[in-house]
Amino acid sequence: MSTMLQELRPLFEWLLVYKYLLVFLLAIIEGPVVMTIGGFFLKLGHFAFWPLYLTLMAGDLAADAIWYGVGYYGALPLVRKYGKFLSISEELIKKTEDAFHRHQNKILFLSKITMGLGFALVILVTAGIVRIPFKKYLAFNAIGQIAWTGFLMSIGYFFGNLYLVINEGLRTMTAIAFGVLLVAIIYGVNRYLRTKDIQNKL
């Protein structure tokens, strides 16, 4: 075990040096989850607030830019082929496109706080399809991102340690269950031996 830890030590040191780069890359892949986890690690003292907050924002906005690019440079062929894996259909994109023309600004703003509800990706892709000016697109997303990042980090910061409480509770329950089982086994064996002893005497 110690040899393995020594071999992994350079990796741990690299992660400590480039931890914000790692957070940035992970935020591009799965922003909301990383924001929540980031809030928990902030509470543990592994990150400083502002660098973490800004890195998470940058990573999630980079993901928004990527999805915009997917829409801008030809989303429909990709949607027809791979959309089912992301719960995105051509019909859903067309409906979102119609809504964009009527409520463009509201939709752009709300797209950030609907992540995880199944249609936020459609909004981001459709923004590229309908050629929303990129600066406007990014500006509205950034406004929503300010609140969204803070909210998810707060969840991780204040409630992330619940898993520790649950884990400790499970360990206690397991210990109690094991103790009860052990007592039951001892009682059963003892009763069996006493019954056997009585039968032998008879």
Q: Same domain for 167 and 154?
A: no
The whole-number pLDDT of residue 74 equals 74
End-to-end CA distance of the chain: 58
Q: Same domain for 115 and 181?
A: no
Q: Same domain for 86 and 10?
A: yes
Q: Same domain for 90 and 36?
A: yes
Q: How far apart are CA 181 and CA 176, in angstroms?
A: 9
Q: Same domain for 151 and 168?
A: no
Q: How many domains does the chain have?
A: 2
pLDDT in tens, 61-111: 999 999 899 888 876 677 666 666 666 666 777 777 777 777 777 777 777
Residue 1 binned pLDDT confidence (cut-offs 50, 70, 90): very low
- How is residue 61 written in tokens? 């906005």
Q: Same domain for 184 and 106?
A: no
The whole-number pLDDT of residue 72 equals 87
Helix axes 120-129, 90-110, angle to 10 degrees: 100
Q: Domain range holding 168? A: 162-202
pLDDT in tens, 128-182: 888 888 998 899 889 888 988 998 899 889 887 765 554 455 456 545 655 665 6
The whole-number pLDDT of residue 76 equals 67
Q: Same domain for 112 and 180?
A: no
Q: How far apart are CA 90 and CA 78, in angstroms?
A: 10
Q: Same domain for 53 and 146?
A: yes
Q: Same domain for 75 and 137?
A: yes
Q: How far apart are CA 16 and CA 26, in angstroms?
A: 15
The whole-number pLDDT of residue 44 equals 86
Residues 6+ apart with CB under 8 A from 84: none
Q: Same domain for 36 and 70?
A: yes
